[in-house]
Structure 1
Amino acid sequence: MGSERRELMKALGARLRGLRAEAGLTGAVLAQRAGVGQPTVSKVETGRMVPSADVLDRLSRALDLDESTAGEVRDLLAAVASASDFEQPVSGGAPAGLTVDEEVRSARLVRSFQCVVLPAMLQSAEYARHVFESAPGTTPEEVGKAVAARVERQSVLYEPGRESVFVLTEAVLRTWPGTPALMLAQLDRLLAVESLSTVRLGIIPWRRPVPVLPRHGFTLCDQRAVVVESFSGERVSDDADELASYEEAFSRFEEAAVFGEEARHLLLLVMKEFRDLGDTLTP
């Protein structure tokens, strides 16, 4: 991350921290009023995280800022965004892969498409560990912290008033790290999550052609931002044209997917195959 962007992030965080102090609020109270996680407030105020426009608006309303001051903090956010389009961890931070978790935490509607790796919010701890360990330059300590943070943020799946729609190709279920036992536990988690009233899980079976050839996974957060995921990091965009393109792509993937009983049947079928594979690998 460039020094200019880092300094702008710190300036935005310091301004919000000062406004919170002037309002006589603790970080926990501000987080509750704004409807965001307390870690989000802490990371924004210390310059370790760039808030989305939606999160900043929530914080501004919770602080009861006048239009002039609210405009000032929006301008600071715009300056951070213009310094770089990419969200990357600062030196010594957690591995790439947590930006999507933070964006999802602040969204009421999440739509995620994946073609290789399971969506972040659906990963078991052991699966997530393999994901973070595969990122270049990570340390065991960073991986451990990243896994813990990811698992903690998955609590949003159970919160009323939120909706999460996940669409994945069947290839995601068959691209596995670790052992068949790890994948059996992971697929069992998918079955449990699929039953939640706040979640819709769709799978594009291999027998159906994909409507658009996927190049990478992405996650839409409300209708304000898209997190585009790559091997080495994540990029957050609120560009209207880019958002519209990803909205259209997700709709087409969603139409090609099976949901409900068909999706559960496919999950159970893949689980059986992993059991059989595990038996063949047992000495």
Structure 2
Amino acid sequence: MGSERRERMRALGMRLRELRAGAGLTGAVLAQRAGVGQPTVSKVETGRMVPSADVLDRLSRALSLDHATAGEVRDLLAAVEAAADSGPVSGEDAPAGAVLDDAVRSARLVRSFQCVVLPAMLQSAEYARHVFASVPNSIPEAVGRAVAARVERQSVLYEPGRESVFVLTEGVLRTWPGTPALMLAQFDRLLAVESLSTVRLGVIPWRRPVPLLPRHGFTLCDQRAVVVEAFADERVTIDPAEVASYEETFGRFERAAVFGDDVRELLLRLMEEFRGMGNTVTP
């Protein structure tokens, strides 16, 4: 991570910590009022994590900031984002995926498109373990913590007032880690989640052409931020033009996907294929 970006992250964190102390709140109380995890508050205040725009707004409201001060902290966040090209968005000790998980936790509307890996909010614990462990220089202890945090955050799928829309290519369902047994358990989870009234799960079947060639996965959090996922890190942007572009792109993939009975039929068919593969283990 570049030194300029690190300093900007620290400046944002120090300012938020000063405002929290001035309001007479503990980190735990602020987290509860803002509806975010206490680790998120700690990492933001110590400059180890960049909050999404929605998380920052939640913290600002929980701190009862006036218009001018709220604008000040938004400007500090914009300064961090302006240095986004100098390194990964997540802190040096935060595993890849942590920023995405926190951004999703704070959003009321989540729209995620994936072309290789299952969306974070749909991953079983074992699938998520393979995802985190595949990151270069991953540490087993950090992987375990990241998996536990991801599974905990998935509870938002069941909360009334939230909406989640996931669009996958069929290739995602055929790109698998571990063993066929892992994927059978994963398909069971997808079938259960697909039945939720708060979730829409779509798949672009192989028999349909994609509207444009996908290059990476991305997740829209409300209409204010997009998390672009790379192999080892994530980039969060709140630039309105870029967010609007990703919204248009998501809409094109969504219109190409099948939903409902067609998705359930596809999942059941793939489950039969994986059952026929026995206990094959990938090299």
* TM-score, length basis structure 1: 0.93
Match of residue 130 from structure 2 = 130
Match of residue 180 from structure 1 = 180
Q: Deviations over 1:137-188 (max 9, x none)?
A: 1121221122112111111111111100000011111111110000000111
Preserved CA contact (<8 Å) 1:94 1:145: no
Question: CA shift at 1:217, angstroms?
Answer: 0.8
**Amino acid corresponding to residue 148 of structure 1 in structure 2:** A
Question: CA shift at 1:67, angstroms?
Answer: 2.4
Match of residue 91 from structure 2 = 90
Q: Deviations over 1:104-152 (max 9, x none)?
A: 1111100000111100111111111111111111121221122112111
**Amino acid corresponding to residue 243 of structure 2 in structure 1:** L
Please tell me whether residue 14 in structure 1 is matched to residue 14 in structure 2.
yes
- Secondary structure of the corresponding residue to residue 110 of structure 1: strand
Preserved CA contact (<8 Å) 2:130 2:178: yes
Alignment of 1:190-209 (within 5 A): 190-209=190-209
Preserved CA contact (<8 Å) 1:118 1:168: yes
Question: CA shift at 1:88, angstroms?
Answer: 3.6
What 5-or-longer segments of structure 2 have no aligned partner? none
Q: Deviations over 1:254-278 (max 9, x none)?
A: 1111111111111111011111111
* Alpha-carbon separation, structure 2, partners of 1:139 and 1:83: 27
Match of residue 228 from structure 2 = 228
* Alpha-carbon separation, structure 2, partners of 1:3 and 1:230: 21
Preserved CA contact (<8 Å) 2:50 2:90: no
* Alpha-carbon separation, structure 2, partners of 1:234 and 1:253: 21
Q: Deviations over 1:231-252 (max 9, x none)?
A: 2221111222222221111111
* Alpha-carbon separation, structure 2, partners of 1:54 and 1:148: 23
Indicate the larger mover: 22-31 or 257-266.
22-31
* TM-score, length basis structure 2: 0.93
Indicate the larger mover: 65-74 or 221-230.
65-74
* Alpha-carbon separation, structure 1, partners of 2:201 and 2:149: 23
Q: Deviations over 1:64-118 (max 9, x none)?
A: 1122322222222222222224544433x13212221111111110000011110
Please tell me whether residue 264 in structure 1 is matched to residue 261 in structure 2.
no
Query: How many residues matched?
Result: 280
* Alpha-carbon separation, structure 2, partners of 1:273 and 1:133: 26
Change (3 A) 1:89 1:222: closer
Question: CA shift at 1:220, angstroms?
Answer: 0.7
- Secondary structure of the corresponding residue to residue 209 of structure 1: coil
* Alpha-carbon separation, structure 2, partners of 1:66 and 1:240: 23
Preserved CA contact (<8 Å) 2:167 2:201: yes
Preserved CA contact (<8 Å) 1:208 1:256: yes
Match of residue 62 from structure 1 = 62
Preserved CA contact (<8 Å) 1:87 1:99: no
Question: CA shift at 1:279, angstroms?
Answer: 6.6
Match of residue 42 from structure 1 = 42
Preserved CA contact (<8 Å) 1:13 1:44: yes
Superposition misfits of 4+ residues, deviation over 6 angstroms: none
Question: CA shift at 1:44, angstroms?
Answer: 1.3
**Amino acid corresponding to residue 264 of structure 2 in structure 1:** R
Indicate the larger mover: 142-151 or 118-127.
142-151
Preserved CA contact (<8 Å) 2:132 2:146: yes
**Amino acid corresponding to residue 200 of structure 1 in structure 2:** R
* Alpha-carbon separation, structure 1, partners of 2:261 and 2:192: 13
Question: CA shift at 1:9, angstroms?
Answer: 1.5
